[in-house]
Amino acid sequence: MQQVLMTGAAGGIGTLLRPILPRLKVRMRLSDLADAIPQAEPGEDWMPGDLTNPADAARLVAGCDAILHFGGISTENRADLIHEVNVKGTYTLYEAARKAGVRRILFASSNHVIGFHPRETRLDADSEIRPDSMYGVSKAYGEALARYYWHKFGIESLILRIGSCFPQPKDRRMMATWMSKEDMLRLIGAMLFAPRLGCPVVYGVSNNRESWWDNSKTAYLGWVPQDSSEMFATKFADYVPNDPNDPAILYQGGNFAKAGHFED
């Protein structure tokens, strides 16, 4: 049975996944910052650690076959904070993984790596990156890092550009970007058990009727999302289109593309 580490397990996605992770039938080590760790549920194995600390990272990855790397700053913030956690923390984790002989990593990237593409452009795994925020820039670094560890050391990574993984879409934009927890779990299963993973870019999105992203280049993984945001369509039945040139509407990144820059 595989030993798998999940970082950021106390966060939103970790909280959605925790109850269904046992279906993967792997030994799961859940990790987060010490003061973020919740009350453990029966059978859960929690290990605190700060990803920016090399000694912590080495302890977290020891004995692991694979890592689900969800830990980090998940929205726009000051560049220095983003660098410390998302750049230094991700590098520290990949270095620890290399030294410990970990073979596979899921890197939780974000749609904000490509957030400055207009919504009428259909993107695939080879589309140009256009980060819409310092947060998106830090995820582009993580994607490049994953590629480096693949070509240099043969460590496989799933570069997962997550759309919006929440219990349900929170706004009209998320009708296109929503990803269910069940589709996330199916994708993690595909990533852990594929005969060959390589280092693909996958858009983390359910089978929504409205869609900006094309995953056909990674069909070899056998991941076919089963859910759709359509079941929430009535929530937005009263939505009235307004200014099509509002950056929050024009661009795929929505409010991240519209927001200002955090100055140092």
Six token digits for residue 152: 């240099």
Residue type, 29: R
Residue in the block written with tokens 């830090």: 138
CA distance 102 to 114: 28
Q: In the complex with ligand 15L, which residue's Cβ is closer, 212 or 223?
A: 212
Alpha carbon 82 to its chain's center: 16
The least CB distance from residue 240 to ligand NAI, in Å, is 25
For residue 247, the partner it binds in ligand NAI, ligand 15L, none, with Cβ less than 5 to 8 A by kind, is none
Q: In the complex with ligand 15L, which residue's Cβ is closer, 28 or 174?
A: 174
Contact 185, 21 (CB under 8 A): yes
Contact 43, 105 (CB under 8 A): no
Select from 190, 215, 196 the least CA-distant residue to 204: 215
111 lies in the binding site for ligand 15L (CB under 6 A): yes
For residue 5, the partner it binds in ligand NAI, ligand 15L, none, with Cβ less than 5 to 8 A by kind, is none
Residue 135 among the catalytic residues: yes
104 lies in the binding site for ligand 15L (CB under 6 A): no
CA triplet 66, 213, 16: central angle to 5 degrees?
A: 45
Query: Per CB under 6 A, which region of 23-31, 110-118, 141-149, 223-231 contacts ligand 15L?
Result: 110-118
Residue choice 164, 180, 206, 229 for contact with ligand 15L (CB under 6 A): 164
92 lies in the binding site for ligand 15L (CB under 6 A): no
Name the active-site residue from 91, 135, 203, 251. Answer: 135
29: β partners: 5, 45
Site residues (CB under 6 A) for ligand 15L? 74-75, 110-112, 164, 174, 177
Catalytic residues: 135
